Amino acid sequence: MTTLQSQPNHAADAHGTDGAHDGAHGSAEHAKYPFLQHHFDTPYHQFDSAKLGMWLFLATEVLFFGGLFVAYAVLRNRFPEVFSYSSHYLDTIMGGINTCVLILSSLTMALAVRFAQTNRRTGLIICLILTFMGAVGFMVIKYFEYSHKIHDNLVWGTTFYVPPHDAIGEAETKELSVAPTTSITLNPVNPAVFAVPTLAPIPAVDASAIKQASRAPVGLATPTQMAHAEGLPTGEHDPSFAHPATHLVDKKMPANSHLFFAIYYAMTGLHGVHVLAGMVVIGWLLKRAIRGDFSSDYFTPVDVGGLYWHIVDLIWIFLFPLFYLIH
């Protein structure tokens, strides 16, 4: 650090760095722009800070989803056959339509920003409504996709093992001695302590009646193993019972296919939560737009909310090929 120059050149300093605020603007700006917060000098200063803040937030979103993308990559790398087989259970057309819906809603969002910038309130309101409807449409299509999968018992984790009642005979269902699909039950690990609602099956027998060996070290025993330790028939000598993880309706399905659906639900589910959050944001923008808060001077919330909505779109742009377009 060199010693100081005699008199710091304020203007040069402020402009030499990335927009550190320029003290030259004063209270005149604040009187002119009521939305300007006291610690910002100009509307541009405030807008610029908000944008940087939002981009940092978007970076956290990328890393947040990034964890799931990494999990996806690791699992896919380990079980390539699972991914290429199971992805055929996803409906490419539905996924494609959803992609288009999101892209269109992104477009209307970008247009909304433009309308706000040019003081066109009606256009802004219409675009926000269209964006909102895009979000709703996406969720509706997603709902149909999900419910279809759940109906086919293409769900996550241990629940995956359970055949739907109509697919196999009554006797076989009983033989597998697991609870019916998608019942909200206690966590089988420890039903006594904290009631965690779970979609996992519990053995038909009382959990405490299972021999220690079948549960400990806990987590290493699959339901089949539990049944095995119980002396219940597990079907392991049945040639069609390829692996405990096989989906019983489709006997060709490779082992561990449930992992594909686990990561599918994790990623699309988290994305869905973001769409819901986006709907709240757009709704709030809509309310303010109708109130007439935005103008060419002040449209930061529209711009920043738009950035959020675009990142939701961006993530879907990658989810779509990764799940639906695997050959």
Instruction: Return the residue matching tokens 């984790």.
Output: 157
Residues contacting 48, CB < 8 A, separation 6+: 19
What DSSP state is assigned to residue 286? H
Phi first, then psi: what are they for 229, rounded to 5°? -65, -30
Residue 231 contacts another protein per CB under 8 A:
no
Applying CB under 8 A, the span of 139-147, 168-176, 278-286, 305-313 interacting with another protein comes to 305-313
Compare residues 279 and 299 and give the one whose CB is closer to another protein: 299
Residue 238 contacts another protein per CB under 8 A:
no
User: Rounded distance, CA 313 to CA 322, Å?
Assistant: 15
Applying CB under 8 A, the span of 117-125, 128-136, 173-181, 278-286 interacting with another protein comes to 117-125
Tokens of 82: 């699972």
Which of the residues 148 through 167 are near another protein (CB under 8 A)? 156-159
Residue 132 contacts another protein per CB under 8 A:
no
Tokens of 75: 């699992």
Helix, coil or strand: residue 251: coil
Nearest CA-CA partner of 36 in 24, 54, 48: 48
CA distances, 232 to each of 42, 131, 177, 247 (Å):
75, 55, 8, 20
Minimum Å gap between C-beta 22 and another protein is 7
Phi first, then psi: what are they for 95, rounded to 5°? -60, -40
Applying CB under 8 A, the span of 139-147, 163-171, 173-181, 319-327 interacting with another protein comes to 319-327
Compare residues 5 and 170 and give the one whose CB is closer to another protein: 5
Compare residues 259 and 286 and give the one whose CB is closer to another protein: 259
User: Rounded distance, CA 20 to CA 10, Å?
Assistant: 11
Minimum Å gap between C-beta 11 and another protein is 8
Applying CB under 8 A, the span of 36-44, 137-145, 164-172, 278-286 interacting with another protein comes to 36-44
Minimum Å gap between C-beta 211 and another protein is 7
Tokens of 43: 């509307």
What DSSP state is assigned to residue 99? H
Compare residues 169 and 211 and give the one whose CB is closer to another protein: 211
Considering only 34, 193, 208, 209, the residue that binds another protein (CB under 8 A) is 193
Size of the site for another protein (CB under 8 A): 136
Residue 38 contacts another protein per CB under 8 A:
yes
Burial of 299 (C-beta count, 10 Å sphere; 0-12/13-18/19+): buried
Considering only 126, 199, 249, 277, the residue that binds another protein (CB under 8 A) is 199
Residue 78 contacts another protein per CB under 8 A:
yes
Which of the residues 2 through 21 are near another protein (CB under 8 A)? 3-8, 10-11, 13-21
Applying CB under 8 A, the span of 59-67, 129-137, 167-175, 274-282 interacting with another protein comes to 59-67
User: Rounded distance, CA 184 to CA 191, Å?
Assistant: 12
User: Rounded distance, CA 188 to CA 206, Å?
Assistant: 9
